[in-house]
Amino acid sequence: MTERLRWGILATGGIAHLFTSDLKVNGFTVQAVGSRSQGSADAFAAEFDIPNAHGSYEALVADPEVDVIYVSTPHPMHAAGARLALEAGKHVLVEKAFTVNAAEARAIADLAASKGLLVLEAMWTRYLPHMARIREIIAEGTLGDLRTLIADHTQLLSDDPAHRINALELGGGALLDLGIYPVSFAWDLFGAPQSTHASATFRPTGADAQIAVVYGYEGGRMAVTHSASDAKGANLAVVLGTEARIEIDHVWYTPTTFRVIAADGTVLEEYRSEVTGRGMHFQAEAVERLVAAGNLTGDLLPIDETVAIMASLDEIRRQIGLAYPGE
């Protein structure tokens, strides 16, 4: 492993706590944190023993002791945070969904390229060990002809209109917050879809409460995803092939177990993840490897694929009639 990069955490919300905890427990260097208030930055720094605490995002990205910034603001602020960090010469990992729309995503990707810097979407699920093993099994041909992905991500979240999940001005709704996981999984397995069909129900605020998407692919392959913020389900996923299937247990997008089951019911493999923390650090390791290798386009999730996924989310929103303020 190359010398550790020095991480800066931009914003101090719940996902920042999870990410920073994973970095610290796995030996990463978290050098600084920035918040819109000095008090919040100080409290976060004290919680995680972070040397530098800044009372503004501008001060964080200007910190000469920081090499890479993790942007963990709400969706509509992702582009601004990423731009701020890139303009300051920092590599950037941006919480998913990467931006609000594809136009923002393309602009950030182009800016990173012009600066010679790495920018990636923090779709940490792709880097988990059980996902790596699933890709190996598929590549080995164990499933036969790959046919279908079925995956859900459902949570029972607050119905408070002011809550982030319900506030359109904060990019609220099931699609960007929850649906991005199964959508990205579908792209990981099958690539860009040939057709998209989406349906949704809505909160009183206009944010989507449930979103179902069916992607169609060459040769009749399909991906069926369902996400919801108003009802909690099993959060399982299954990958179907002509010879066998993979059943991924609760919660499928976090370190978990799965089974490979032949068409006759024989269990061919049982896999159990053993991960320290939540597993978000695996992508952080990839960021450090990519920077060391001078690979500024990404590996398991190239930045151009992130932009294409954002365009797919734009199409889904067009079909269900969902727009965010300012679009």
Helix (H, G, I), strand (E, B) or coil at 26: coil
- The pLDDT value recorded for residue 326 is 86
pLDDT digits (tens, 9 = 90+) for 265-319: 999 999 999 999 999 999 999 999 999 999 999 999 999 999 999 999 999 999 9
Residues 244, 263 within the same domain: yes
Could you tell me the CATH number of the domain that includes residue 228? 3.30.360.10
> Quick check: 259 pLDDT over 80?
yes
Residue closest to 86 by CA, chosen among 102, 103, 101, 71:
71
Do the beta carbons of residue 252 and residue 236 sit within 8 Å? yes
DSSP-assigned beta bridge partners for residue 8? 32, 69
- The pLDDT value recorded for residue 2 is 56
CA distance 130 to 259: 11
Bond preceding residue 275 cis, omega within 30 of 0: no
Residue type, 56: S
Residues 13, 147 within the same domain: no
Residue closest to 239 by CA, chosen among 144, 124, 129, 140:
144
Average pLDDT over residues 112-141: 98
Average pLDDT of the chain, as a whole number: 97
Residues 247, 284 within the same domain: no
CA distance 306 to 277: 25
167 CA to centre of own chain: 20
pLDDT digits (tens, 9 = 90+) for 127-139: 999 999 999 999 9
Residues 116, 247 within the same domain: no
Residues 191, 211 within the same domain: yes
CA distance 27 to 9: 16
**Could you identify the residue written with the tokens 């209109």?**
161
**Could you identify the residue written with the tokens 């036969």?**
144
> Domain total for the chain?
2
Helix (H, G, I), strand (E, B) or coil at 126: helix
Do the beta carbons of residue 5 and residue 287 sit within 8 Å? yes
Q: In this structure, how many other beta carbons lie within 10 angstroms of the beta carbon of residue 264?
A: 7
Q: Is residue 319 part of a domain?
A: no
- The pLDDT value recorded for residue 225 is 98
Do the beta carbons of residue 174 and residue 210 sit within 8 Å? yes
DSSP category for residue 162: T
CA distance 204 to 1: 50
CA distance 320 to 313: 11
- The pLDDT value recorded for residue 3 is 73
Residues 116, 150 within the same domain: no
Average pLDDT over residues 215-228: 97
> Quick check: 1 pLDDT over 50?
no
Q: Is residue 300 part of a domain?
A: no
Residues 62, 32 within the same domain: yes
> 44 pLDDT band (50/70/90 cuts)?
very high
Residue type, 27: G
Q: Are strands 29-34 and 6-10 parallel, antiparallel or unpaired?
A: parallel
Cα of first residue to Cα of last residue in the chain, in angstroms, is: 43
Q: Is residue 309 part of a domain?
A: no
- DSSP H helices in 7-63: 14-25, 38-48, 57-62
Host domain of residue 21: 6-123+280-295
pLDDT digits (tens, 9 = 90+) for 52-97: 999 999 999 999 999 999 999 999 999 999 999 999 999 999 999 9
